[in-house]
Amino acid sequence: MAVDTHARQLAGLDALELAGEQRAGVASRAWARLWPMLTAVALVLVAWELVVLSGRWPEYVFAGPITTFQDLGHRLGDPEFYQAVATTMRRAVTGFALAMLVGLIVGAAVSRVKVLRAAFGALITGLQTMPSIAWFPFAILLFGLTESAITFVVILGAAPSIANGLITGVDYTPPLLLRAGHVLGFRRLQLYRHVILPASLPSFLAGLKQGWAFAWRSLMAGELLVIIAYQSSLGEQLAISRELSDSPGLIGTMIVILVIGIVIDMLFEAADSALRRRWGLNPV
């Protein structure tokens, strides 16, 4: 009974502690993260304007921030812009989803089967270091100037990182948890499902994040090289702006590409920190 009150007191303390942590300034924490970013953006804009002002390049070759953002503002009111973004994002999501599927299957197989690991382990790491743009000539030869060529290269760019993330996670499953799973009666597939896969989640997530970065790069390269008629995309807009010497349009599109990349990276970051919080992996 003494222990019961003891436990209840502990529970109370625990609840207090958790509530306090959540209350304490969502706003101030957001601001703490935001101001360094805003400062950095301001610095870049100033540097950009200074370079333009230096007169090294004429304004129609290297547009300043003001012209560029005005131009971007106009395009944000144009449905064609959203079509271009939608096309690019559709390709990105499809390619990435397929890469995830391939990465999962290959990663799971290679981490489970010794022979496969001996055979393909080094190859996967090798593929990871291969610049994906080097695949394009081959992809175009195989698929022609089609979307399949782009998807093919996006998958090849992202899947090795995803597979490697999974393999690393499986390799670094804490032995103690494996032993605990074994004692609980899990064998082979069951052990895989209840212990090894969950334990490798953080590493898998890191692989996904890296895979996304590769997918996004491959996609941009692909859209520059493989231009499909009547289908507007971000990469295609870059190419057209260059041909028309439309400097504000070119820089504006680059900014859009950068922002999309940053936003998606932040999503992965958020998923990662949510996972760390749940597992109690946060550094002090």
| From 79, 278, 283, 284, residue interacting with another protein (rule: CB under 8 A) | 278
Instruction: Supply the minimum distance, in Å, between the C-beta of residue 272 and another protein.
Output: 14
Helices (H), ranges, the chain: 2-23, 26-53, 65-76, 79-112, 114-129, 136-143, 147-171, 175-183, 188-191, 197-199, 201-225, 234-243, 247-279
Smallest distance from the beta carbon of 66 to another protein, in angstroms? 50
Minimum Å distance from CB 204 to another protein? 12
User: Total number of residues binding another protein (CB under 8 A)?
Assistant: 29
**Contact set for another protein, span 166-225 (CB under 8 A):** 176-177, 179-180, 182-186, 190, 194-195, 198-199, 201
For residues 2 and 12, give the distance between their C-alpha atoms in angstroms, rounded to a whole number: 16
- Minimum distance of another protein from residue 267's CB (angstroms): 21
* Per CB under 8 A, 21 contacts another protein: no
Pull the structure tokens for residue 132. 């994906």
* 138 vs 279 by CB, closer to another protein: 279
Cα 75-78-79 angle, rounded to 5 deg: 135
In the chain, the N- to C-terminal Cα span, in Å, equals 35
Cβ atoms < 10 Å from Cβ of 120: 18
Residue numbers at the binding site for another protein (CB under 8 A): 2-4, 6-8, 10-11, 14, 18, 176-177, 179-180, 182-186, 190, 194-195, 198-199, 201, 278-281
